[in-house]
Amino acid sequence: MLNGKKIIVVLPAYNAEKTLEQTYNEIPFDIVDEVILVNDASRDNTVGEAERLGIKHIITHSNNRGYGGNQKSCYNKALALDGDIVIMLHPDYQYTPKLITAMCSIIANNVYPVVFASRILGKGALKGGMPMYKFIANRLLTFTQNILMNQKLSEYHTGYRVFSKEVLTKVNYEANSDDFVFDNQMIAQIFDAGFEIGEVTCPTKYFDDASSINLKRSIEYGLGVLSVSFGYFFKRLGLYNHAIYQHKQ
């Protein structure tokens, strides 16, 4: 706990057997109260490895629900366990869990209700091996999104995020896609609900066992991101609305 707030790490896992131990061992258990792993129909021994490590809360999808569908299960379980601060951490060891304490302290001290770990602040992305085409696409998309959404985030595409309970109980993430565009729909929901997002600098690692999507899926993701951003822009003008913006009661 920090400042009396219960802290839960959620691990959206797909074929994470080889990297789960490294990720898990760096989690700061001096402040983290619970760990939840959601296994999205992995084809390897992710569940067996999670059990060996002693992870108590393991959810397995019988069919692959996708990255967004995995996160929905993660957040639903975290709220069911009364988490006050919820960290979404990829178990592929692309992001260091050593930033959890710093990111959680920002929320625990009521500075921001949401915190992203940015690979773009500083030189973490290219230094960590991000492919140049992904870096360029990240910068172009982020530039466009900041204009359309009237924000100034350094990146919209990090998979390392921390949320307060207040945010997760207000935004209707269940209405979002089950695919990768879920992340950007959630950002639009967060801003639409009037919340702000803080950022911290984060190193990253690209290697064979780290999760990644191929070029075709990357293009589909980019188009989906633009669709969300334009939708948010037109909503701000009063010309468009969508079910994702119907906040929880």
Does residue 34 carry a pLDDT above 70? yes
**pLDDT (average), residues 161-169:** 98
54: left (phi over 0), alpha (psi -120 to 50) or beta: left
The pLDDT score that the predictor gives to residue 74 is 98
**pLDDT (average), residues 52-59:** 98
Instruction: Work out the percent of the chain whose per-residue pLDDT is above 90.
Output: 82
The pLDDT score that the predictor gives to residue 134 is 82
* Residue whose C-alpha is closest to residue 28's, from 115, 113, 116, 96: 96
- Residues 6 or more apart from 91 whose CB is under 8 A from it? 11, 12, 13, 16, 19, 20, 23, 24, 37
Question: In the chain, what are the domains?
Answer: 7-134+155-215 (3.90.550.10)
User: In which band, very low, low, confident or very high, does the pLDDT at 123 lie, cut at 50, 70 and 90?
Assistant: confident
Does residue 219 carry a pLDDT above 70? yes
Taking only the tens place, the pLDDT of each residue in 23-32 is 999 999 999 9
The pLDDT score that the predictor gives to residue 213 is 67
Does residue 208 carry a pLDDT above 70? no
Angle at 59 between CA 54 and CA 60, to 5 degrees: 115
The pLDDT score that the predictor gives to residue 249 is 61
Cβ–Cβ < 8 Å for 240, 160: no
The pLDDT score that the predictor gives to residue 127 is 76
**pLDDT (average), residues 40-62:** 97
